[in-house]
Amino acid sequence: MVIVTLQREDCIGCNYCSEVAPNYFSMDDDDGKSILMESVEKRGFHTMKTHDPDAFDECSYAAESCPVNIIHTKQV
């Protein structure tokens, strides 16, 4: 399983994650910050769990691209 988290509050809205991982991230037109699709929010951490085999690579690319390091991925 792949677990992806997004600390959304610190997002500066640069758009990289949605550019490199469009299947998992999009930009919220309301507040200009990133959205991690299908995620659940708890205390500011938005977490998405998936068995999709592509998720780890794509989301890791997003994590590497994020200038404020608020995206984390792990494979369990």
Partner 1 sequence: MAKGKVELMAPAGSFESLQAAIDSGADSVYFGVEQLNMRARSSINFTIADLTEISSRCKAADVRTYLTLNTIIYDHDLKLVKRLLDAAKEADITAVIAMDQAVIAYARQIDMEVHISTQINITNIETVKFYALFADTMVMSRELSLRQIKKICQQIKDENVTGPSGKLVEVEIFGHGALCMAVSGKCYLSLHSYNSSANRGACKQNCRKAYILTDKETGNEIEVDNEYMMSPKDLCTIDILDQVVDTGVKVLKIEGRGRSPEYVSTVIKSYREALDAIEDGSYSPEKVDGWMKKLETVYNRGFWNGYYLGQKLGEWSEGSGNQATQKKVFVGRGIHYYPKNKVGHFRIEADKIELGDKILVTGPTTGVKEFELSELMVDDVIAEVAQKGDDCTIPVDFKVRSSDKIYKIIQA
> Quick check: 33 and 21 in contact, CB under 8 A?
no
CA distance linking residue 62 with residue 76, whole number of Å: 19
Smallest separation (angstroms) from partner 1 to the CB of 29: 5
Q: Which residues bind partner 1 (CB under 8 A)?
A: 11-16, 27-33, 64-68
Nearer to partner 1, 45 or 49 (CB): 45
Nearer to partner 1, 1 or 12 (CB): 12
Smallest separation (angstroms) from partner 1 to the CB of 1: 27
- Show the CA angle centred on residue 13, arms to residues 47 and 74, nearest 5°: 30
